[in-house]
Amino acid sequence: MVRINPKSTSDDHSGSIDEMKKILSNQKALFINEPNIAWLKRKENLKKLGSIIKDHESDFINAISKDFGNRASEETIIAEMLVIQGGINHALKHTPKWMRTRKAPTALQFKPAYNRVIPQPLGVIGIMSPWNYPLQLAVMPLIGALGAGNRAMIKPSEYTPLFSKLLKKVLGKVFSEDEVYVALGGVDVATCFSSLHFDHLIFTGSTNVGRIVAKSAAANLVPCTLELGGKSPAIIDESANLKTAVARLTNAKLLNAGQTCVAPDYLLMPKSQVSDFASAMISQAETFYPEFAGNKDYTSIIADSHYARLQNLLEDAENKGAKIRVAGNDDKQQLAKERRIPLTIVTETTPDMKIMQEEIFGPLLPILESESLNESLEYISKRDRPLALYWFGKNKNKLNRVLKESISGGVTINDATWHVIQEDIPFGGVGPSGMGAYHGEVGFRTFSHMKGVFFQSKFSQGSKLHPPYGPMASKMINLMKKIM
């Protein structure tokens, strides 16, 4: 996605390079003094994080809504507050077990020595987050970082300045800046932030900026988790329950007005189904939102630049022969004033259209005709690996083929987006949609060093393997050749 015209102003800045370097150096020094924060302290950190966010629920709802122009309070509760609550409760329940030293098997030739894996906090975690779910995507990595015993520095997006300021204020009530620090500012601050010597950096955002951030982190050999975007397809099989598919896809696509990293980006289905499916989605959208303009339940597009970008995708598709169907009957000028775009279905699409090439990140939904599963899988596998993939149907053989023959960050079957909030499975992309994963135990491991330790025994066979090599060494080597 192209970024222009961010909303930040100079008074949003609190992230000068000197300040960030000083905080990082303090955090690192404190970490050296206390390299293994005990469970009780981690538990206290997670609990106070959860309570302070809950206490400020309405402030977050208001700030995010103002930053967007409008965001339904229910969407902020469902997709941000509840996800965080689930993440914290899961971490509180399971972290003591994840923190334990684990026994690991030891090969026969090394016994009676033994192996252990000791999870160890890394130190200071850098967290860079986007604007689309600004609270969830700053705090979910923070839960993983704190649960694993780290300190953290966060750089939220400049597109949500009111939220970012509030986050800094709210976290500042329960954490010192030497525990959790929030850097405010624009791309200049983000650029400096990504060049800091963190012990791990997690970046959530676009693939283009992810490339820049990964390069900057690589210069310092800072390990990186990249949670990126991409075009997430939904395949509608002939065996699908179409009514259910229509309702679920419309809901998933219009949540946050399509500004969701795992929103279904485009549909693949047989030509014979396209027209009925498109009509059904339009009418489902009109049931969800009897009007789009002025509707408190419908989210605005974050910024004029993104609104223009989406209009541009439509224009390009129309110029290249696509058919456009817009839900509702709202006044166009009013919609534009409120930066709202109703569900817009684009049919008769071709792969050369921009809408089929870049991540949409808005309520436009192209449908690409595909007559068979082979055709759909081939289309998907010849392109960048998507962050999410959806399949609707009942045919078990086809389902198995989809799971085995496609590669995507994650999958939801017969619905969309839900895999993201399962704390017991990893969440992350693959290839251009991301690198690494977090949430739940996988997140704990991402923000820990899983240290392998070999405990040598009094009776080490290996200690006989030393120069000058004589008959004893030959005997040992022959024995090892047999058992290894």
| Binding status of residue 14 toward ligand NAD by CB under 6 A | no
Q: Interface mask (CB under 6 A) for ligand NAD, residues 230-269, using x and -?
A: -------------------------------x--------
Q: Interface mask (CB under 6 A) for ligand NAD, residues 213-232, using x and -?
A: x-------------xxx---
Kindly determine how many residues on this chain lie close enough to bind ligand NAD according to the rule CB under 6 A.
Answer: 31
Q: Which of 233, 410, 434, 440 binds ligand NAD (CB under 6 A)?
A: 434
Cβ pair 149, 179 in contact under 8 A: no
Which two three-digit tokens encode residue 333?
């000028």
H or E element that contains 180: strand 180-182
The residue (of 87 and 149) whose beta carbon lies closer to ligand NAD is: 87
The residue (of 349 and 433) whose beta carbon lies closer to ligand NAD is: 433
The CA-atom distances, in angstroms, between 10 and each of 7, 93, 161, 253 are: 10, 42, 11, 35
Q: Which of 60, 131, 277, 444 binds ligand NAD (CB under 6 A)?
A: 131
The residue (of 130 and 393) whose beta carbon lies closer to ligand NAD is: 130
| Binding status of residue 49 toward ligand NAD by CB under 6 A | no
SS3 category, 419: helix
Instruction: Give the C-alpha separation, 235 to 395, whole Å.
Output: 13
The CA-atom distances, in angstroms, between 288 and each of 65, 181, 245, 392 are: 19, 40, 15, 21
Instruction: Give the C-alpha separation, 328 to 333, whole Å.
Output: 14
The CA-atom distances, in angstroms, between 84 and each of 55, 89, 227 are: 13, 9, 17
User: Annotated catalytic, 34?
Assistant: no
218-224-229 Cα angle (round to 5): 115
Which two three-digit tokens encode residue 180?
């959790």
The residue (of 182 and 269) whose beta carbon lies closer to ligand NAD is: 182
Q: Checking DSSP bridges between strand 151-155 and strand 124-128, what pairing results, if any?
A: parallel
| Binding status of residue 117 toward ligand NAD by CB under 6 A | no
Of 227, 338, 359, 441, which residue is the catalytic one? 227
Give the nearest distance from C-beta 69 to ligand NAD in angstroms. Answer: 16
Residues 171-200 that bind ligand NAD (CB under 6 A): 187, 190-191, 194
Cβ pair 431, 134 in contact under 8 A: no
Cβ pair 365, 344 in contact under 8 A: yes
The residue (of 6 and 123) whose beta carbon lies closer to ligand NAD is: 6
CA-based R_g, the chain, Å: 25
Q: Which of 1, 52, 336, 442 binds ligand NAD (CB under 6 A)?
A: 1
Q: Which of 164, 206, 284, 376 binds ligand NAD (CB under 6 A)?
A: 206
The one-character DSSP state at 294 is T
Q: Which of 12, 67, 158, 338 binds ligand NAD (CB under 6 A)?
A: 158
| Binding status of residue 3 toward ligand NAD by CB under 6 A | yes
Of 80, 158, 261, 338, which residue is the catalytic one? 261
Instruction: Give the C-alpha separation, 76 to 61, whole Å.
Output: 6
User: Annotated catalytic, 261?
Assistant: yes
Q: Checking DSSP bridges between strand 266-269 and strand 323-326, what pairing results, if any?
A: unpaired
Give the nearest distance from C-beta 143 to ligand NAD in angstroms. Answer: 14
Neighbour count for residue 147 (Cβ, 10 Å): 30
Q: Which residues are catalytic?
A: 227, 261
Q: Which residues bind ligand NAD (CB under 6 A)?
A: 1, 3, 128-132, 137, 155, 157-159, 187, 190-191, 194, 204-206, 209, 212-213, 227-229, 261, 359, 361, 387, 429, 434
